[in-house]
Amino acid sequence: MDYDRSFKIIAHTDGPALARLADIRVDEWTPIGDTLQTTERLADRAFRASRDGRHFVVYFESQTVWTESVVWSLLSKSGLLSERERLPTEIVVFVLTPQGYRDQQGNFRLESVVGRTIQQIWFHEICLWRLRPEPWWELNPGLMALLPLCAHEGDVREAVTYAAEAIRHRSLDGARRADLLTTLAFFGSLADDELDIFSIIAREEMRENLVAQAFIQEGRLEGRLEGRQEATVLERREAVRLLVEVRFGESVAAGCDAMLGTITDPERLAELRLLAKTASVAAFLDALKPG
């Protein structure tokens, strides 16, 4: 599942609210990804902001699994942003799960051989499993999409249901509402991978979203196994193709078209569908090759 893409949707929907979770209040807020010549991931998470006439950059990062490389990435990316904008950069790191996490004390410091600090960054660590939702979140549908991962009352099913209703009640256009409901489904599945999250959230609310279409199509295919609807080999191919596009991008999906077109075994397509959901791109492409 594409949690990185989902977090970007939240950042662009409710960036100031995300910043508020780190006690960063802003008067002005604009994305800077339009001309930033760096990775797409960085551009989609960087924003110009100001407070009381002081200008700065806010850079969001999210991690499902904490690794030692995270702080090095923060060091390099924040430096790049500050160099480009000639402004200080506030770094906010959202840690989605406790897997591998160790408290960083909000800073990363490099020392020389004589023990002198030569580089240091400070950042805000937001551990979602410790974060208790507040009433004002309901005014920010992007935050509600994170609710299943937070220290909410009740179980994950209840959190997903409650968040979905809050998102629906906001005055959003259909496409954005679909994006947020799909994002909620992704984070709900991260909180509890045994729940059928997409059956909890009304699928018609998500039909405009490409990611949701992939899972809706998958649900139709699974319906055949329960005798509800016949699924053709063509439909299975389309479901695999759509999942590949969602997870790995259009260029990878296009490169798979020829090989997918030669597969007529429904069981093999079912296996590929599972790999498209869970495996790395390298593992999927290896499995796609003729045996």
What would the pLDDT profile of 199-219 be if each residue is shown by its tens digit?
A: 777 654 555 555 555 655 555
- Structure tokens given for 44: 């989609």
pLDDT of residue 48: 94
* Distance, CA of 144 to CA of 137 (rounded, Å): 6
What's the pLDDT tens digit per position in 55-72? 999 999 998 888 888 999
**Alpha-carbon distances, residue 240 vs 137, 153, 192, 230, 272 (angstroms):** 36, 37, 23, 17, 7
Helix (H, G, I), strand (E, B) or coil at 179: helix
pTM, entire model: 0.68
Distance separating alpha carbons of residues 91 and 81, to the nearest angstrom = 11
Q: Name residue 173's amino acid.
A: D
168 alpha-carbon distance from chain centroid = 20
Domain boundaries, the chain: 3-130, 133-208, 214-291
Question: How far, in Å, CA of 124 to CA of 58, rounded?
Answer: 11
* CA distance to 22, 81, 162, 170, 239, per residue, from 41 (Å): 21, 13, 30, 27, 26
The answer to whether residue 181 scores a pLDDT higher than 50 is yes
| Residue that the structure tokens 């991690």 belong to | 63
Task: Pick the range with the lowest mean pLDDT from 108-122, 210-224, 257-271.
Answer: 210-224
